[in-house]
Amino acid sequence: MGARILVAEDDVKQAELVRRYLEREGHSVVVTHDGRTALDEARRRQPDLLVLDVMMPRVDGLDVCRILRTESDTPIIMLTARSTEDDLLLGLDLGADDYLTKPYSPRELVARVRTILRRVERHRAPHSRHRIGALTVDTDRHQVYVDGREIDVTPAEFKILACLCAEPGRVFPRQKLLEEAFGFDHYALDRTVDVHVMNLRRKIEADPGAPAYLLTVYGVGYKMADHPGVRDAS
What's the whole-number mean pLDDT along residues 194-207? 93
Q: Is the pLDDT of residue 1 over 50?
A: yes
User: Residue 201's pLDDT is what?
Assistant: 96
Q: What is the DSSP string of 186-217?
A: -TT-THHHHHHHHHHHHHH-SSTTS-SSEEEE
Cα–Cα distance, 76 to 198 (Å, whole number): 23
Tens of pLDDT, residues 30-70? 999 999 999 999 988 889 999 999 988 999 889 999 899 88
More reliable by pLDDT, 224 or 102: 224
CATH, range 129-224: 1.10.10.10
What is each CA distance from 12 to 27, 28, 111, 161, 220, in whole angstroms? Answer: 19, 18, 22, 39, 44
User: Residue 123's pLDDT is what?
Assistant: 61
Q: Are 65 and 94 in contact (CB under 8 A)?
A: yes
46 Rama class: left (phi>0) / alpha (psi -120 to 50) / beta: left
Residue spans per domain, the chain: 4-124, 129-224
User: Residue 233's pLDDT is what?
Assistant: 44
User: Residue 41's pLDDT is what?
Assistant: 92
Mean pLDDT of the chain: 85
Q: What percent of the chain has pLDDT over 90?
A: 45
Cα–Cα distance, 8 to 113 (Å, whole number): 14
User: Residue 188's pLDDT is what?
Assistant: 42
User: Residue 14's pLDDT is what?
Assistant: 92
User: Residue 204's pLDDT is what?
Assistant: 95
Q: Is the pLDDT of residue 234 over 50?
A: no
Q: Are 197 and 160 in contact (CB under 8 A)?
A: yes
Q: Are 7 and 18 in contact (CB under 8 A)?
A: yes
Cα–Cα distance, 115 to 99 (Å, whole number): 13
Q: What percent of the chain has pLDDT over 70?
A: 87
User: Residue 84's pLDDT is what?
Assistant: 62
What's the whole-number mean pLDDT along residues 84-108? 80
Neighbours of 90 (CB within 10 A): 18
Q: Is the pLDDT of residue 71 over 50?
A: yes
Q: Is the pLDDT of residue 81 over 90?
A: no
User: Residue 85's pLDDT is what?
Assistant: 65
Q: How confident is the model at residue 186 (pLDDT cuts 50, 70, 90)?
A: very low
Amino acid (one-letter) located at 5: I
Q: Phi/psi at 172 (nearest 5 deg)?
A: -105, 120
Which CATH fold would you assign to the domain 4-124?
Answer: Rossmann fold (3.40.50)
Cis peptide before 155 (omega within 30 of 0): no
- Residues ≥6 apart with Cβ < 8 Å to 201: 208, 211, 213, 214
